[in-house]
Structure 1
Amino acid sequence: MDRLARFLADRSRLLTVLVAASLVAPALLLPGLRIDNSVEVWLRRGHPALEQYRRFLARYGSEEYVMVALESDRPTSPESLKEQSALAAELAKVPGVDRVVDLPGTARALFGARDDWTAEARRHPLIRNLLLGPDERTVGILLWLKHPEGPGARREVVQAIRGALTRSGLAERAHLAGTPVMNVALDEASRRSSMIFLPLAVATAALLLALVFRGVAGVAVPMFAAFAAVLWVLAAMVLAGRTLNMVTVTLPSLLFILSLSSTIHLTSRLASHRQAGLDMQPALRRTVRELILPTFLSSITTAVGFLSLMYSDMGPVRDMGLFSAVGLMVAFAVAMLAGPGGLWLLSGRPRPASVGVQGWLARSGNSVAAHPRLAAAASLGLLGACAACLPLLRVESNVLKFFPDDSPIARDYAFVSERLTGLYTIEIDASAGRSDEAALRKALARLGREVEQRPEVARVDEYSRFQPLLESLALVAPILGRPAGADMLEDLAGRFRREEGPRVHLRASILVRAMSSGEFYGLIENIRARAGAALGPSNWELTGVVWLLNDVQQALVQTQVSSFAIASLVVLGMIGLLLRSARAMVGSVVPNLLPIFSAFAVMALAGIPLDSGTVMIASIAIGIAVDDTVHFLTRFRAERQAGLAPGEAIAATFDKVGPALVFTSVIAACGFAILALAEFRPIRYFGGLTALTMLAALAGDLYVLPAMVRLIAPWRKP
């Protein structure tokens, strides 16, 4: 270790230049970084449910659609029908639109040239709650889409639809809903977030570093190491073919903040040695020798916390874990390779940090350590109280709830759900032999009527709704010719029936309104039970992209409980192994679990749900929280081995590493707090709660950890 420290210190300026030169390559790759929130990004390849959904798509074609809801005072008036027909013709020209279903075209197909069709249309199952709202002041135009090719296809289709609405002069009266619309809203919000978070994180870090270190080196060196880590990780994402999404869009700012830690410790410790009278080179040697082990251990334990996210079935969460872990180790390497040289090149006259906290830290730590049993009992009591709040946590997997209530996407979805129809479908794919097709049709129709009685269900479409119309067409066509709209009816019917060898497949699409996750899963269980009773235990499958996404997010919560347990065992075990003390590992448990359980208690009491953002807090926080613990224990062990008594060792530890613990935690908390400005609620909650966890972890290391080391007494003999 001494030889490595000497090499890093003596060759520091050359290493700094080499590291800076190496950043040219990743910088050239950055233009290839893309944003993609498409459905495929969130689903794990090879998952049985995903393979089932792909079979469904191959059988029936794309289930994706865009619903255009138009406000109209008299939707069946000649003027309004003409307006709707003109818009439908314009929308049919949009590349990617497979079929347009509108009220005038459907009325021609159903009622021919009759003039008295409006009263019957209000009751017709193909029109009610789809093309004409129950208030009779809202009309719908349904756009079936071709299966999108590539991450930008949905965005291009939605933009073209909006362009057609603008050209028709109907944009202000139109409201869009559908999976592609949601994807585009997620992409746009992610893009806005990517342009805001990192600049704010950089500005906040620069300001705080300037206040603390009052010099160019104290600002430039930590920020250089953080920039290098972010640059290399984003380049790695490009090389791996990964994209940013509503989860990983926080990665650059999160990684930037966390990457400051190692160089802050270097800067603080070097300033202390220089203040003690050491020249630059021996001060650098001593600084690197003292910090290379604790910074490596803190970096790798934080990386392990992130790597536990790899246990998830959700692609963006796995990417968040993998690339954050890689970035943290890159940040450690840059800090050790370029940090000493940067400090040497930029440091002027040695000055202490502007915030003198050593005396206060030593006094507060010793006051707690003087009563270790009382402090331990209070900590365990608080931990138990926080754990008692955990059953109050709820899970939210409805993506619409991720947006603010006053956002355009939330307002449009609310309008469509309340005044026209459902927002997404739950699909049933049933099959039978050809001889049993009639019985299957009847069973599926009966199931549809039962499910349609649920208040959450807008309508159920299945083949029996089209069958009488197709039979009428077959009778009329030889005599009167094919009526207008016959192609549309046959196309729609074909989307609900397929023949494959000796078997016939029939589809039922259950169009559901906006609801909470709890209501959604209650509906799913009800549909399962009714389908099992109507169709039997086999020969049918439940699928659909929204059901699949909700199922993946629900499973995410369950897998993250396991990943948190694994991360906790590994991280705390590494402390005991690398510090060679089982007592140190035991003493680290309460100070590091208490902040995490405190965050979950706040979530439970404040009604903040577990979702794709907040569920990551536990696994990430255990790695982040242990950072200060590692630096404290490493220094405490050195002081005990130097012959100091426990109380003296605690005071000396706070004197040497205490300021850096406070600086890194406060800067990280401020950086995470920036995410509270996010448009996405999961990211907003993630940022605020992680900032709270950082401050709670600092409090645990300042007030609980000293008591635990006095009580458990690791390294008894100096």
Structure 2
Amino acid sequence: MKSISGFVVRHPLASLVASVMVGLFFFLQIPKLTTIDNVDYFVVDDDPDFAYYEEIRSIFGEDEFFVIAFRQPDVFTERNLHLLRDLTRELESHPGSRNVKSLANVDYVDGAQEFFDVRPFLETIPDTREGLERLREQAMSTPLYLDNLISRDAETLAIIVYPHDHPDDHEFRRRFLDDVANMLARHEAEGTRFHLAGNTVSNVFLSRYVQQDLATFIPLTITLVALVILAVFKNLRLTLLAMVNIMFCLGATVGFMALTGTAMHNVTSVVPSLVMALALADTVHIFSYLDKDYLGAEQNKHAALRRVLDKVILPCFLTSLTTAVGFFSLSVSTLLPIREFAYVASMGMLLEFFFSFFLLPPLILFCNPSKIYRSRRTEHGLSGILFATSRFVRKQHVRICFVVLLIVIGSGWFAGKIQMETNLLEYFKKESPLRQDLDFVQQHLSGVATMDISLRANSDFAFSEPENLLLLDAIQSFMHGLPGVDTSLSFADYIKDMNKSFHDEDPQFYVVPEERDLIAQYLLLYDSRDIDDYINRSLDHARIVLRLSETSSARQAELIEATQIFLAELEADGIAIRITGNVVQQVNVIQALLDSLMASLALAVGVIALIMFLVLRSIKMGLLSFVPNIFPLLVNFGIMGLLGIPLDTSTALIAVVALGIAVDDTIHFLMEYDTHRKTGLPIAASLEQAVMNKGLAIVTTSVILSIGFGVLVFSNFVPTIYFGLLSALVMVTALIGDLILLPAIILLKKDRPAT
């Protein structure tokens, strides 16, 4: 490490040119950066459930959809029906639409005694009150439409749009929804309010919010950390140098993302703020040693800077390494977005160390040393606070340890109450348009989360048999009794509707007919394609499509478990039944997240522990170094349990990320303490010197990191807000752990001469 600092000081121009060239290489990649606009981006690697889900979609078509809903006191008026028909036709003609369904284009089975005719439901729009009332009666007596295309109070109509799948065109959804918004805007001016909800809408809002978050996080973080540097060091030159350094670190990290094809999404969007804050951590440690005493004791500014760098380069390298290890440990995850965060964040740490010691020192040398070196005696009165803290810990170290023990016990108890779940609805703030529209659709129609039950028979035309249709009906009846299940549709529903129509619309005949020949006759008469989403051409593969208003993955898991138990007890000879759909993927993701979190945390602890043992050359000191870092994590999980904050795709990162970061200041503190112990100073005196020498940098970096995480509270995503708040809290409690808890524990042992 010292050879690196020696090279940089001897060859500042070469070091500067090399670091600028590296920075420019990555800067040129930034225009290639993309944003993910897919809420289904979290997929478990090699998941058989996902593979089966893909197979189902290849058979029955993509299941992504969004709902356009509007509400009127009476939807069965000429104006409202013309509006529905016009919008449906416009949407059908749009090249982005794969399919569109509404009362304006679905088929209606119009029956009489022993006959029925399939015709468009809205074949013509009546111009009389009687005709409109007849239309209302037909719609409200058709279960296929209820809660799907029309609400049960007949005051809300829905258009369901199935967009084409364009996986290579990241802008497709946004353009499509922009066109839809322009269509609807013309009619909203006439007083009709439209509400959009569904995966497509969530995807676009997700992408839009990620971009808005970045536009907020980056300038806000830059401004706040600049103010902190200026406030701490009261030196404009140092502030400007710090800003140059973090801009290179930020640009290079984002360029690395673009170079490797890593997109911005709701997980990687926190990386820029994280990298900027961590880049300043090493910068602060360098600045804190720019002491006029060093400048006066050395021959020239090169020798003075060499002495500064020799002091800090090893602990800064170790802190960058342990932080990178903490981040990289997440690469064991079976979820690609988590691995992408691991790769980018750990690379950001390597780039941060590179620029801090190859770009920043030459810039320091190009400045007038008398303008940037300062006397430590002018440190804002913080020295007095640190001195008082050190004396307080010396006197009260036993009580401090006892209080911390009580906090740890309490935190452990509350941590047991943490819920593991992902809830897409809770991703968005209650006041967001997406959240409000989703609430509207779920209140008046059905939820937009979907779960399928696939039934595969081992013979053709199996689902023309009454017993197999009754099996579909029995499963649906059970599902309707489960909380969160709003509607279900299957091939059996269409057969029941045909049977009712065949018997002169008598609702008593809305049942599966007992005769196979009658079912075959219905299928000959029925010439609509509406059933294609529920049965294949050979009638040996059927699916039940469920729409759910339950968006909590924990309760969805309970629903899946209850369904699996019920299905296992069914007698279904020759039919393989399997639960699939988007909801199953969401439940699998949260379980994979928990598994990978445990593996990542174990890996991070193991590798960081090994590094600490090697650096401190003591197993006892290495174990001791974990105490002030495990403490904030326990407090964090305790607060999550106390406040009911779930462990999800964002908050699950906190433990591993915080461990990698929080250990940084511990390394600086213990290495400084060990240095003084080796000179023969007693424990108390060595601790006091460590607090006084490292306190400014530790406090400053903790404040900067808290700010870096704190800006995340301005996110559009609730989990990101929690991630920011809790991570900032971890930084504060880690500061307490390093300057109060760690010295208190060390003071418990008897003072012996240092070896």
Q: Which category describes the TM-score, using the shorter chain as reference length?
A: over 0.9
Distance in 2 (CA, whole Å) between partners of 1:691 and 1:320 is: 19
Equivalent residue for 1:128?
146
Q: 1:220-299 to 2 correspondence within 5 Å?
A: 220-271=240-291, 273-274=293-294, 277-278=297-298, 279-299=300-320
Give the match's secondary structure for 2:291.
helix
Distance in 1 (CA, whole Å) between partners of 2:529 and 2:570 is: 27
Contact 2:553/2:590 (<8 A) preserved: no
Q: 1:375-524 to 2 correspondence within 5 Å?
A: 375-434=400-459, 436-437=462-463, 438=465, 439-467=467-495, 490-498=528-536, 504-524=540-560
Report which stretch shifted further, 350-359 or 395-404.
Answer: 350-359
Cα distance, 1:471 vs structure 2? 8.9
Report which stretch shifted further, 548-557 or 614-623.
Answer: 548-557
CA 1:444–1:644: 2 relative to 1, 3 Å: same
CA 1:55–1:107: 2 relative to 1, 3 Å: closer
Distance in 1 (CA, whole Å) between partners of 2:596 and 2:752 is: 37
Structure 1 residues 97-152: Cα deviation after superposition (integer angstroms, max 9, x where no partner): 12221113336565747943421321312111111101211011112233333222
Of the three residues 152, 156, 159, the one matched with 2:178 is: 159
Identity %: 27
CA 1:362–1:572: 2 relative to 1, 3 Å: farther
Query: Counterpart of 1:710 in structure 2: which amino acid?
Result: L
Distance in 2 (CA, whole Å) between partners of 1:4 and 1:415 is: 62
Gaps of 5+ in 2: 112-118, 125-130, 504-523
Contact 1:424/1:513 (<8 A) preserved: yes
Contact 1:216/1:347 (<8 A) preserved: no
Contact 1:676/1:687 (<8 A) preserved: yes
Distance in 2 (CA, whole Å) between partners of 1:216 and 1:14 is: 26
Query: Counterpart of 1:305 in structure 2: which amino acid?
Result: G
Of the three residues 293, 303, 328, the one matched with 2:349 is: 328
Distance in 1 (CA, whole Å) between partners of 2:751 and 2:316 is: 21
CA 1:702–1:136: 2 relative to 1, 3 Å: same
Distance in 2 (CA, whole Å) between partners of 1:32 and 1:136 is: 49
Gaps of 5+ in 1: 476-485
Give the match's secondary structure for 1:497.
coil
CA 1:268–1:171: 2 relative to 1, 3 Å: farther
Q: 1:175-190 to 2 correspondence within 5 Å?
A: 175-190=195-210
Distance in 2 (CA, whole Å) between partners of 1:92 and 1:487 is: 26
Distance in 1 (CA, whole Å) between partners of 2:482 and 2:684 is: 68
Equivalent residue for 2:163?
145
Structure 1 residues 607-643: Cα deviation after superposition (integer angstroms, max 9, x where no partner): 2222211111111111111111000111111112223
Distance in 1 (CA, whole Å) between partners of 2:616 and 2:75 is: 75
Cα distance, 1:598 vs structure 2? 0.9
Report which stretch shifted further, 168-177 or 421-430.
Answer: 168-177
Q: 1:328-347 to 2 correspondence within 5 Å?
A: 328-347=349-368
Give the match's secondary structure for 1:23.
helix
CA 1:119–1:396: 2 relative to 1, 3 Å: same
Structure 1 residues 1-22: Cα deviation after superposition (integer angstroms, max 9, x where no partner): 4433322222234312331233
Query: Counterpart of 1:665 in structure 2: which amino acid?
Result: S
Equivalent residue for 1:531?
567
Contact 1:373/1:711 (<8 A) preserved: yes
Query: Counterpart of 1:440 in structure 2: which amino acid?
Result: N
Matched, 1:567 2:604: yes
Cα distance, 1:220 vs structure 2? 2.5
Cα distance, 1:536 vs structure 2? 5.0
Q: 1:50-69 to 2 correspondence within 5 Å?
A: 50-69=50-69
Contact 1:269/1:287 (<8 A) preserved: yes
Contact 1:637/1:715 (<8 A) preserved: no
CA 1:129–1:618: 2 relative to 1, 3 Å: same
CA 1:22–1:515: 2 relative to 1, 3 Å: closer
Cα distance, 1:238 vs structure 2? 1.1
Contact 2:277/2:704 (<8 A) preserved: yes
Of the three residues 659, 662, 672, the one matched with 2:699 is: 662
TM-score by length of 2: 0.88
CA 1:714–1:173: 2 relative to 1, 3 Å: farther
CA 1:715–1:123: 2 relative to 1, 3 Å: farther
CA 1:110–1:82: 2 relative to 1, 3 Å: farther
Q: 1:618-697 to 2 correspondence within 5 Å?
A: 618-697=655-734
Report which stretch shifted further, 663-672 or 704-713.
Answer: 704-713
Distance in 1 (CA, whole Å) between partners of 2:414 and 2:501 is: 63
Of the three residues 612, 617, 632, the one matched with 2:654 is: 617
Distance in 2 (CA, whole Å) between partners of 1:714 and 1:332 is: 37
Query: Counterpart of 1:308 in structure 2: which amino acid?
Result: S
CA 1:612–1:454: 2 relative to 1, 3 Å: same
Contact 1:303/1:326 (<8 A) preserved: yes
Distance in 1 (CA, whole Å) between partners of 2:499 and 2:400 is: 81
Report which stretch shifted further, 8-17 or 459-468.
Answer: 8-17
Distance in 1 (CA, whole Å) between partners of 2:384 and 2:12 is: 33
Give the match's secondary structure for 2:28.
helix
Report which stretch shifted further, 10-19 or 231-240.
Answer: 10-19
Distance in 2 (CA, whole Å) between partners of 1:600 and 1:426 is: 32
Report which stretch shifted further, 590-599 or 302-311.
Answer: 302-311
Matched, 1:209 2:229: yes
Contact 1:432/1:539 (<8 A) preserved: yes
Give the match's secondary structure for 1:341.
helix
Query: How many pairs were matched up?
Result: 707
Cα distance, 1:665 vs structure 2? 0.8
Equivalent residue for 1:480?
none
Distance in 1 (CA, whole Å) between partners of 2:167 and 2:196 is: 21
Equivalent residue for 1:365?
390
Structure 1 residues 464-520: Cα deviation after superposition (integer angstroms, max 9, x where no partner): 122366799999xxxxxxxxxx999733211211257xx821111011114444432
Give the match's secondary structure for 1:612.
coil
Query: Counterpart of 2:354 in structure 1: which amino acid?
Result: A
Equivalent residue for 2:510?
none
Distance in 2 (CA, whole Å) between partners of 1:366 and 1:490 is: 85
Contact 2:294/2:307 (<8 A) preserved: no
Contact 2:109/2:497 (<8 A) preserved: no
Matched, 1:199 2:237: no
Distance in 2 (CA, whole Å) between partners of 1:360 and 1:121 is: 75
Give the match's secondary structure for 2:366.
helix
Distance in 2 (CA, whole Å) between partners of 1:535 and 1:221 is: 74
Contact 2:453/2:543 (<8 A) preserved: yes
Structure 1 residues 195-246: Cα deviation after superposition (integer angstroms, max 9, x where no partner): 0101000000111101111223421233222222221221121121111011
Query: Counterpart of 1:315 in structure 2: which amino acid?
Result: L
Give the match's secondary structure for 2:238.
helix
CA 1:383–1:572: 2 relative to 1, 3 Å: farther
Give the match's secondary structure for 1:711.
coil
CA 1:13–1:215: 2 relative to 1, 3 Å: farther
Distance in 2 (CA, whole Å) between partners of 1:227 and 1:716 is: 46
Contact 1:444/1:535 (<8 A) preserved: no
Query: Counterpart of 1:50 in structure 2: which amino acid?
Result: F
Of the three residues 371, 374, 393, the one matched with 1:351 is: 374
Cα distance, 1:275 vs structure 2? 6.3
CA 1:300–1:474: 2 relative to 1, 3 Å: farther
Equivalent residue for 2:521?
none
Cα distance, 1:84 vs structure 2? 0.9
Report which stretch shifted further, 4-13 or 316-325.
Answer: 4-13
Distance in 2 (CA, whole Å) between partners of 1:167 and 1:489 is: 36
Give the match's secondary structure for 1:130.
coil
Equivalent residue for 2:83?
83
Report which stretch shifted further, 108-117 or 573-582.
Answer: 108-117
Cα distance, 1:192 vs structure 2? 0.7
Structure 1 residue runs of 4+, over 6 Å off? 469-475, 486-489
Contact 1:262/1:295 (<8 A) preserved: yes
Give the match's secondary structure for 2:528.
helix
Contact 2:43/2:589 (<8 A) preserved: yes
